Structures are given as C-alpha cells and as structure tokens.
C-alpha cells in the first residue's frame, strides 16, 4: 500500500510539473533559449527597422539613398564611386570650348575642419579656342524622390576681369534621343551671376523641361521660375519629385511648383556643370576663371523629404562618419549614362 501511495504521489508530481511548464510556455514566459536562438531573435528585420509615426527624420533607415560628401584626393577616387568627369565635346556653352577634366579638383573646407569640397573651375579669354568648361555626372538611375545638394555660387571671377555670362548648375537629366523627344526629362537649378538669356544682373532659375530641339533649330518646351539678385555663397538646393509635382527649394524656402505634362518621364542622372553662355563673353582682355563649389549631394528614392528632413539625414550620416553611400539600384540592364550635355 505504501509503495502504491508513493507511486501515486510521484505520478501526480510529474503531471503537475508538465502542466506548469505548459502554462509558462503559453503565457510567453518560456525558459531561456540557446545563445544561438537569442542572437537570431535580435537580428533586425523589416518590422524592427520600421519607423513609428512622428519619429525623427534622422532615425529612419532609407533603403535607396545616394550620399556623397566629396571627401576625395583625386578624380580617380571620384570615378570609383560612379561619377564621370566630362571630357566629351559639345553643347552647351561656347562653340569650340573644351570640357576640361583638370578643372575638377578637391580642397579643404576653410570653414569646417576635416571637411573637403569639390571645386569646378572654368575659364575663358572670350574665344572658343581658349574656353574650358567643367561638368560631372553620376549614373543614370534616379527618378522619383528627393534630390539635394549644398553648393557655393560665386559672382566674381577667381582670377582675371569679370563680367562673363556663365551658368553655375545642379540638375538632373535624361538623354535627348531626338529633337523634341517626348520622353526627355530635365530638372534644373541654374545661377547666372552676370545675367544672360535676355536678363541683366544675377539671376537664379528653376526650370522643368518637357523637351527641346538643339541648335541650329533651337526650340524649347519648359516652365521656369526666375528670381533676381545675388546668390553668392553657400546654399542648400532641394528638388522634390513626387505625386506628379516637382517642387524646388532654396535654403528651406519653396521657390516654385511645376506639374502636369512637365513632370519627368524618364530615369535621369545627377549632374553639376559650370559653363559659359554663347555670345556672352565680357568685353575684357585676358584670361579669367570662375569657381563653383560642392560640399555634398544627396538623393532618397520614393520620398518627398522637406529641406529640414534632408539636413537631418545628412547630419546623421556625417555623425556616423559616412563619406559615401549608394544603395540606389541601377536598372537591369544598366542604362547608358552619357556625360555630354
């Protein structure tokens, strides 16, 4: 009898233990898993990386971003990150001018320790033979999203007499397959420190293109905004491309909004150039040169970021000592990316 009773007690204890363990597992308080299991449970996934509404912009982890702060020593390093330094002849600018790779250089930022900037230098003596222009282009793989750059426009020449009509730019563009190509796309910031295109004095243009026909049969189809006054100095330029609308901002202030048929239709490259307007040379003797500086460029796909959000994104990347990041996938097969206008 004693043995039977003892067996009954043992069985009862086992049953109670099994029930208790089952209850613990059901309530979510299971015993600790193995080290491998714990490590696996902490790996980030799409849900754990999602940002709750109201989270700070810098906390968001974007999947398709280009950021470059141009911390390079030479053009080979620049090219290794997908940039093309233009050498191809042709439009725009002064007929017969040379597109001059040597005009793209890198230097220390005088206002910010450990920062470097890219400088484009273009020069002329008023003749096509002695005119050198500069341009850089990234791969053609950008479409909807937010484009931004911090650039320094200049009014005065770096050397020599001034007064030449020239264009200092930040823009996106697709190739023109034929005159009045309906698939053409181009979005421009263009600063003319000495006027041009029938306008006197320093002028900033924001232009959204439908298409055009190049010279000698020049014809254009675009919409633009024009503001007069000097823009010499550093500026943050932002272009939003989203929801059928293109919005341009300078230093946080919206300049204009374009929509309708002018909304881009093709994948574009990101470009900067510095060139002289045809027939816009100053009546001056001797060579002169001009600079446009670039601190950084940024793009985030499929997001209409405010200028404040852009600044927060860039500041976060710099705090993390990120000098370059490119997670924007190229089309397959990759598109031809000409750097010739």
Reduce the secondary structure of 46-58 to three states and give it as a string.
Answer: CCCCCCCCCCCHH
pLDDT (tens digit per residue) in 247-294? 999 999 999 999 999 999 999 999 999 999 999 999 988 999 999 999
Max distance between CA atoms of the chain, in angstroms, equals 124
Tell me: pLDDT of 238 over 80. yes
Q: pLDDT > 70: what percent of the chain?
A: 82
Average pLDDT, the chain: 86
Q: For residue 140, what is the domain's CATH number?
A: 2.60.120.200
Task: Give me the sign of the Cα torsion angle 58, 62, 65, 70.
Answer: positive
In a domain, 5, yes or no: no
pLDDT 10s digits, 39-93:
332 222 222 222 323 334 444 445 899 999 999 999 999 999 999 999 999 999 9
Distance CA 301, CA 306 (A): 13
- Preceding amide of 38 cis, omega within 30: no
- Least Cα distance to 134 among 92, 176, 85 occurs for 85
Using the structure block, give the residue that is written with the tokens 């400088």: 119
Q: pLDDT confidence of 113, banded at 50, 70, 90?
A: confident
Q: Does the residue 162 lie in any domain?
A: yes
Say if 56 falls within a structural domain.
no
Q: Is residue 318 part of a domain?
A: yes
Q: Is residue 57 part of a domain?
A: no
The CA distance from 293 to 151, in Å, is 6
Domain that holds residue 310: 62-326
Q: Which two tokens stand for residue 261?
A: 């048929």
**Tokens 């500069």 label which residue?**
134
Alpha carbon dihedral 301, 306, 311, 312, in 10-degree steps, equals -80
Give the distance, in angstroms, between the CA of residue 32 and the centroid of all CA atoms in the same chain. Answer: 47
Strand 269-276 relative to strand 288-301, pairing: unpaired
Task: Give the number of residues written for the chain.
Answer: 341
DSSP assigned state of 329: P
pLDDT surpasses 50 at 21: no
133 falls within a domain: yes
Q: Tell me if 204 is assigned to some domain.
A: yes
What is the tens place of the pLDDT at every residue in 287-319?
999 999 999 999 999 999 999 999 999 999 999
Q: What is the pLDDT of residue 51?
A: 30
Q: Does 66 fall in a domain?
A: yes
Q: Provide the number of structural domains found in the chain.
A: 1
pLDDT confidence of residue 5? 42
DSSP annotation of 1: -
CA distance 182 to 185: 9
CA distance 323 to 309: 19
Cα–Cα distance, 31 to 47 (Å, whole number) = 25
């Amino acid at each position: 009898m004693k043995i039977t009773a003892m067996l009954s007690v043992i069985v009862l204890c086992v049953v109670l233990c099994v029930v208790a363990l089952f209850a613990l597992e059901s309530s979510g308080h299971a015993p600790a898993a193995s080290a491998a299991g714990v490590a696996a449970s902490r790996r980030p996934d799409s849900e754990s990386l999602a940002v709750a509404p109201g989270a700070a912009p810098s906390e968001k982890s974007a999947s398709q971003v280009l950021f470059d702060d141009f911390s390079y020593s030479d053009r080979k390093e620049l090219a290794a990150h997908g940039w093309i330094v233009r050498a191809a002849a042709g439009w725009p600018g002064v007929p017969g001018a040379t597109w001059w790779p040597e005009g793209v250089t890198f230097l220390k930022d005088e206002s910010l320790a450990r920062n470097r900037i890219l400088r484009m230098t273009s020069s002329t003596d008023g003749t096509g033979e002695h005119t050198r222009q500069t341009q850089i282009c990234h791969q053609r793989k950008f479409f909807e999203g937010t484009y931004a750059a911090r650039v320094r426009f200049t009014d005065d020449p770096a050397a020599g007499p001034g007064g030449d009509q020239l264009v200092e730019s930040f823009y996106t563009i697709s190739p023109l397959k034929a005159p009045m190509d309906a698939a053409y796309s181009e979005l421009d910031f263009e600063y003319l420190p000495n006027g041009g295109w029938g306008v006197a004095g320093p002028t900033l243009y924001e232009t959204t293109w439908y298409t055009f026909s190049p010279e000698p049969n020049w014809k254009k189809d675009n919409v633009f905004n024009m503001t007069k006054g000097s823009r010499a100095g550093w500026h943050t330029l932002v272009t939003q491309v989203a929801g059928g609308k293109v919005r341009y901002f300078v230093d946080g202030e919206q300049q204009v909004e374009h929509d309708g048929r002018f909304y881009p239709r093709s994948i574009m490259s990101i470009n900067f150039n510095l060139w002289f307007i045809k027939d816009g040379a100053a009546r001056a003797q001797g060579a002169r040169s001009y600079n446009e500086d670039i601190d950084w460029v940024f793009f985030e796909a499929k997001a209409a970021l405010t200028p404040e959000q852009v600044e927060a994104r860039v500041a976060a990347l710099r705090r993390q000592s990120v000098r370059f990041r490119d997670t924007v996938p190229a089309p397959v097969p990759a598109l031809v990316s000409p750097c010739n206008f």
